[in-house]
Amino acid sequence: MGSITLNKVSKSFGEAKVIPSIDLEIVDGEFVVFVGPSGCGKSTLLRLIAGLEDVSGGKIMIDGKDVTDNAPAQRGLAMVFQSYALYPHMSVRNNIAFPLKMAKVDKAAIDQKVTDAARVLNLTDYLERRPSQLSGGQRQRVAIGRAIVREPSAFLFDEPLSNLDAALRGTMRLEITQLHHQLKTTMVYVTHDQVEAMTMADKIVVLNRGNIEQVGSPLDLYSRPRNIFVAGFIGSPKMNLIEDDYARSKGAKTVGIRPEHFTLSRDSGLWSGTVKVAEHLGSDTFLHLDVDGIGHINARCDGEFGARHGDRIFLTPNETKLHRFNEQGLAI
Amino acid sequence: MARVVTRQHKVIATIAAWLVAFLIFFPILYTIITSLKTEPEAIAGFSLIPSGTFENYITVQTRNDYIRPFMNSVILAVGSTILALIIAIPAAWAMAFSPTKRTKDVLMWMLSTKMMPAVAVLVPIYLMFRDFGLLDTHIGLTVMLTLINLPIVVWMLYTYFREIPGEILEAARMDGAGLWQEIVYVLTPMAVPGIASTLLLNIILAWNESFWTIRLTTTTAAPLTAFIASFSSPQGLFWAKLSAASTMAIAPILILGWFSQKQLVRGLTFGAVK
Amino acid sequence: MATQNTRALARFMMAPSVILLLVWMIVPLSMTLWFSFQNYNLLNPGNVSFAGLFNYQYFYSDPAFFQSIWNTLVIVGGVLLITVIGGIGIALLLDQPIFGQGIVRILVISPFFVMPPVAALVWKNMIMHPSYGVFADISRLFGFRPVDWFAQYPLLSIVIIVAWQWLPFATLILLTALQSLDSEQKEAAEMDGASAFSRFIYLTLPHLARAITVVILIQTIFLLGVYAEILVTTNGGPGYASTNLAFLIYRTALLGYDVGGASAGGIIAVILANIVAIFLMRAVGKNLDR
Ligand SMILES: Nc1ncnc2c1ncn2[C@@H]1O[C@H](COP(=O)(O)OP(=O)(O)OP(=O)(O)O)[C@@H](O)[C@H]1O
Ligand SMILES: [Mg+2]
């Protein structure tokens, strides 16, 4: 009930070609995340799906029906905006009820649905307040409530958590994921935060300059990035990308090693280096190393490995976990 | 020590500010006081304490039929303002939410029409009004005031509308609101404060407009500006009555003005100073 | 498509305003231009003929014309000088922490809401009248002969009245601009050891520059057309001593019935206003790009 198909969709603003041509299949019930650096066209793509922008070319289908020329309201989608876009002059209750009112649902049914949504979202005590009297997280929930009550065939989220503080972001992330399990409705979620992408998605779409770099499950992208861009973008701390002699010895232009794929030792190893900064997180420690003959390397080690600034340590890359890329930056 | 200095500073500043305010307000204050004096009192030399008679207000009404110009002022100011709003709201809405490359040029051009000096078109307007029988009519003057203030109204509304986040209108669109519903349920309630201050400021401007209102009317449609201006001919010794008439002419707008002083800056500077 | 629809609709919604203003601008102005080349007197309306540049020549050779241009400039310049300097002073004062700021603001802004004929009459009779005015009372108190303002200093009197009306406007705008000055900036300057005077010169004044420009330009537009104040007080006299261009055109047209001459004067007024307008549009236009 919520499959979305993009067929050679392109978008230009005047002269600027923001999205050259995109093909994408979103299966019903999937949680799809669009990630990519700022300005790569994530929002634009989402707004094309929503119908808030006209496509410059190509087709958009929802449940097999061509909706390219349909107005936003006719597409049966709901959207949650980054700024929440709540109606400031309406109470929480009326905000949530608004789409139902527009759909001319009868009064009793509206009340029922609003009450249900409020319960699910823990908003029952706030129904009579104005949005300005709510906290950021509560506003976010109202925006989600407004989307839920319409029972859309898919939800669209544009960086919904970026205005919240880190702790709240964690909670809301969880709530949205749970909501998805509950509703089993298709969700398309835009973010530039790859932690959100990794933790929430069934399927991640990595965008760069309006092009899809790779589509796949989070672990897929993590362990088998198709090119250097995806390799560098997914994962935190970033994958180490090494060129020169070491790469050549492995038969590649560039070799990528994730920070956790090193064996660290105090007394022996393939490479040696100096600890520049050690970030102790308790469970893990992130080391920023200056490795002789290679340069800057991020490595992750056990929390117990008590390295400090200035220490000399040895490290050996795990050869089986290497990512090799050719001249074009594609994985070999 | 620092606190003492600050307090002293505040007291001095307060005295100075109140003195300046008093001097600036004095002509108005003195008019109000004089309106409460008897005629002999009014010319008897400086005094801030009137005998407190309301005689003058009654006389102005009975002898000069004050109500008529007053009603004319209300009709012209309110009528022209509402007419201007009806014409301007869609235009400002379009320019704020569906801007094109030319929007800015259109706005600037509208502003430029406001700069045409009234005297430059006095002759043709006067002749047209005469030929179409519009002299001294409510319709003619209402249209005139509407046209004069239309650019300011469009501009003010535009600057207010522009502050309504576009995402909210998009949200309404996603929620299934049609254009009409978008305007009625979302845009209008959010725009009401802006529309209200535009209304207020424009009523003030229309109420005080003193070129066309004086030149294009004589009696039937003459508003307070023309009524008061007619007192400029030698008037003998009835200053208390003149003060009463003046007080009544400015009181309503003075009060409206106090409420709208914040919006005034923005409206009259076309958003250049906020 | 959805957004293309909106665009078409947008045009449709702008149409009434645009068309009305277009007609309002073009029709009367082209008529004025046309009349300015005609011999056309309302006392002799059957006898209209082409006059070439005669009206302009006539207007130009009339000594009243130069006097009126001069008077226009004196009114504009004088009022600007008083209101801008006075406005900065009062705005600085009101920006201080004072008791009853709200009321003070209301009192200071009030004259702006007084309709021009009332302002003129109040000043003429209540304040500046040679025998019963407050100024006369004050003069007598100090043993001076009261001044007959409108007979002796007609132009100055008008400048004073108009300045009184516009001083609140300048004050309010400058005060608004002043209040938007970042207080952290002020504090930083204070920490840097800048004196109150140099803070004013290097921080406040540059910050006010734009507001001052706007005040000057907007007031100029209105001041070029001062009319009711003159009509009610001096009626342009004695002689042409307090006649500005606007008043001269009115006299020519509606008292002299000379349509052609008044129109030529109107075109000159348009040119004058346009020079100001160009500068104003620049100042306002810049703000749009922000
Ligand atoms: N209405 C518009 N007119 C012209 N260019 C636009 C418009 N909207 C977006 N763009 C351009 O399209 C590109 C993609 O914008 P988009 O908002 O989709 O980026 P994004 O991936 O969402 O970035 P962010 O993470 O910063 O939100 C940008 O270069 C932007 O400047
Ligand atoms: Mg975005």
Q: Each residue of B55-77: pLDDT tens digit?
A: 778 877 777 778 888 899 999 99
The CATH number given to whatever domain includes residue B94 is: 1.10.3720.10
C4-54 pLDDT tens trace: 666 777 788 888 888 888 888 888 888 888 888 877 777 777 777 777 777
Does the pLDDT of residue B267 top 90, yes or no? Answer: no
- pLDDT at residue A97, rounded to an integer: 92
The CATH number given to whatever domain includes residue A115 is: 3.40.50.300
Q: Is A80 left (phi over 0), alpha (psi -120 to 50) or beta?
A: beta
How many Å apart are CA B263 and CA C7, to the nearest integer? 30
* Averaged pLDDT score across all residues of chain C: 82
Classify residue B219: in a domain, yes or no. Answer: yes
Q: Could you tell me if A187 and A29 are in contact, meaning their C-beta atoms sit under 8 angstroms apart?
A: no
Contacts 24+ apart (CB under 8 A), C12-16: C13/B90, C13/B91, C13/B93, C13/B94, C14/B90, C14/B91, C14/B94, C14/B95, C14/B106, C16/B87, C16/B90, C16/B91
Strand pairing class (A203-208; A31-35)? parallel
In which band, very low, low, confident or very high, does the pLDDT at B236 lie, cut at 50, 70 and 90? low
Q: Which atom of ligand 1 is nearest to the CA of A82?
A: 27
Q: Which atom of ligand 1 is nearest to the CA of A40?
A: 21
Residues A148 and A111 in one domain: yes
In which band, very low, low, confident or very high, does the pLDDT at A205 lie, cut at 50, 70 and 90? very high
Q: Which atom of ligand 1 is nearest to the CA of A37?
A: 25
Report chain C residues whose CB lies below 8 A from the CB of A9: none
In which band, very low, low, confident or very high, does the pLDDT at C290 lie, cut at 50, 70 and 90? very low
Which residues span the domain enclosing B197? 66-230
**Smallest CA–CA separation between B174 and chain C, in Å?**
12
Classify residue A331: in a domain, yes or no. Answer: no
The CATH number given to whatever domain includes residue A290 is: 2.40.50.140
Q: What is the average per-residue pLDDT within B24-49?
A: 82
* Per-residue H/E/C for chain A: CCCEEEEEEEEEECCEEEEEEEEEEECCCCEEEEECCCCCCHHHHHHHHHCCCCCCEEEEEECCEECCCCCHHHHCEEEECCCCCCCCCCCHHHHHHHHHHHCCCCHHHHHHHHHHHHHHCCCHHHCCCCHHHCCHHHHHHHHHHHHHCCCCCEEEEECCCCCCCHHHHHHHHHHHHHHHHHHCCEEEEECCCHHHHHHHCCEEEEEECCEEEEEECHHHHHHCCCEHHHHHHCCCCCCEEECHHHHHHCCCCEEEECCCCEEEECCCCCEEEEEEEEEECCCEEEEEEEECCCEEEEEEEECCCCCCCCCEEEEEECHHHCEEECCCCEEC
Residues A132 and A273 in one domain: no
Residues A241 and A228 in one domain: no
Contacts 24+ apart (CB under 8 A), B27-31: B27/C111, B27/C119, B27/C122, B27/C123, B27/C126, B27/C127, B27/C164, B28/B250, B28/B254, B28/C110, B28/C111, B28/C114, B28/C122, B30/C122, B30/C126, B30/C127, B30/C134, B31/B243, B31/B246, B31/B247, B31/C118, B31/C122, B31/C126
Point out the domain boundary residue: A170, A201, A232: A232
> How remote is the CA of residue A16 from the centroid of ligand 1, in Å?
10
> How remote is the CA of residue B172 from the centroid of ligand 2, in Å?
19
A286-302 pLDDT tens trace: 999 999 888 899 999 88
Classify residue B27: in a domain, yes or no. Answer: no
Point out the domain boundary residue: A232, A252, A272: A232
Residues A128 and A165 in one domain: yes
Contacts of C187 (CB under 8 A, 6+ apart): none
Classify residue A332: in a domain, yes or no. Answer: no
User: In one letter, which amino acid is C254?
Assistant: L
- Sheet of A203-208: strand order equals A77-80, A154-158, A186-190, A31-35, A203-208, A211-216
A86–B168 C-beta distance less than 8 A: yes
Pocket of ligand 1 (CB under 6 A): A 13, 16, 18, 36, 38-44, 192
In which band, very low, low, confident or very high, does the pLDDT at C75 lie, cut at 50, 70 and 90? very high
Residues A128 and A10 in one domain: yes
Residues A177 and A57 in one domain: yes
Which residues span the domain enclosing A243? 237-325
Tell the residue nearest (CA) to atom 5 of ligand 1: A13
Report chain C residues whose CB lies below 8 A from the CB of A60: none
**Is pLDDT larger for residue C58 or for residue B204?**
B204
- Give the number of domains in chain A: 2
> How remote is the CA of residue A43 from the centroid of ligand 1, in Å?
7
Out of B172, B176, B190, the one facing A103 most closely (by C-beta) is B176
Residues A144 and A221 in one domain: yes
DSSP codes of every residue in chain B: -HHHHHHHHHHHHHHHHHHHHHHHHHHHHHHHHHHTS-HHHHTSS--S------HHHHHHHHHH-THHHHHHHHHHHHHHHHHHHHHHHHHHHHHHHS--TTHHHHHHHHHHHHTS-GGGGHHHHHHHHHHTT-TT-HHHHHHHHHHHHHHHHHHHHHHHHTTS-HHHHHHHHHTT--HHHIIIIIIHHHHHHHHHHHHHHHHHHHHH--SHHHHS-SSTT--HHHHHHGGGS---S-HHHHHHHHHHHHHHHHHHHHHHHHHHHHHHTTTS--
Q: Which of A42, A157, A212 to mutate to test the pocket of ligand 1 (most atoms within 8 A of CB)?
A: A42
Probe site for chain B from C65, C94, C98 (most B CB atoms < 10 A): C98
User: In one letter, which amino acid is C105?
Assistant: R
**Smallest CA–CA separation between C287 and chain A, in Å?**
24
Classify residue B149: in a domain, yes or no. Answer: yes
A49 touches chain C (CB under 8 A): no
Residues A225 and A254 in one domain: no
Residues A296 and A182 in one domain: no
Tell the residue nearest (CA) to atom 18 of ligand 1: A41
Q: Which atom of ligand 1 is nearest to the CA of A13?
A: 4
Does the pLDDT of residue B234 top 60, yes or no? Answer: no
Report chain B residues whose CB lies below 8 A from the CB of A85: 165, 167-168, 170-171
How many Å apart are CA A45 and CA A39, to the nearest integer? 11
A238-274 pLDDT tens trace: 899 988 888 888 888 899 999 999 988 888 888 888 9
Domains within chain C, CATH numbers bracketed: 65-242 (1.10.3720.10)
**Smallest CA–CA separation between B220 and chain C, in Å?**
19
Q: What is the average per-residue pLDDT within C235-254?
A: 83
Classify residue B170: in a domain, yes or no. Answer: yes
Top mean pLDDT of A155-159, B153-157, C62-66 is at: A155-159
Residues A261 and A212 in one domain: no
Classify residue B36: in a domain, yes or no. Answer: no
Tell the residue nearest (CA) to atom 8 of ligand 1: A44
Classify residue A183: in a domain, yes or no. Answer: yes
Tell the residue nearest (CA) to atom 14 of ligand 1: A41
- Give the number of domains in chain B: 1
Measured between CA atoms, the residue of chain A closest to residue B180 is A102
Report chain A residues whose CB lies below 8 A from the CB of B176: 73, 99, 102-103, 150
Q: Which tokens hold the place of A53?
A: 């922008």
Does the pLDDT of residue A219 top 50, yes or no? Answer: yes
Measured between CA atoms, the residue of chain B closest to residue A74 is B176
Residues A193 and A283 in one domain: no
Phi and psi dihedrals of A283, rounded to 5? -70, -40
Classify residue B223: in a domain, yes or no. Answer: yes
Point out the domain boundary residue: A187, A212, A232: A232
Q: What is the average per-residue pLDDT within B127-154?
A: 88
A66 touches chain C (CB under 8 A): no
ipTM for the complex shown: 0.83
Residues A170 and A269 in one domain: no
In this structure, of A88-97, A313-322, B91-100, C249-258, the range with the lowest mean pLDDT score is: C249-258
Classify residue A330: in a domain, yes or no. Answer: no
> How remote is the CA of residue A159 from the centroid of ligand 2, in Å?
7
> How remote is the CA of residue A53 from the centroid of ligand 1, in Å?
12
Classify residue B121: in a domain, yes or no. Answer: yes
Does the pLDDT of residue A280 top 80, yes or no? Answer: yes
- The neighbour count for residue A134, using CB atoms within 10 Å, is 18
Report chain A residues whose CB lies below 8 A from the CB of C1: 54, 69
DSSP codes of every residue in chain C: -HHHHHHHHHHHHHHHHHHHHHHHHHHHHHHHHHHTTEE-BTTSTT--EE-TTHHHHHHHH-HHHHHHHHHHHHHHHHHHHHHHHHHHHHHHHHTS--TTHHHHHHHHHGGGGS-HHHHHHIIIIIIS-TTTSHHHHHHHHTTPPPP-HHHHSHHHHHHHHHHHHHHHHHHHHHHHHHHTS-HHHHHHHHHTT--HHHHIIIIIHHHHHHHHHHHHHHHHHHHTT--HHHHHHTTT-STTTT--HHHHHHIIIIIS-BHHHHHHHHHHHHHHHHHHHHHHHHHHHHHHH-
Classify residue B15: in a domain, yes or no. Answer: no
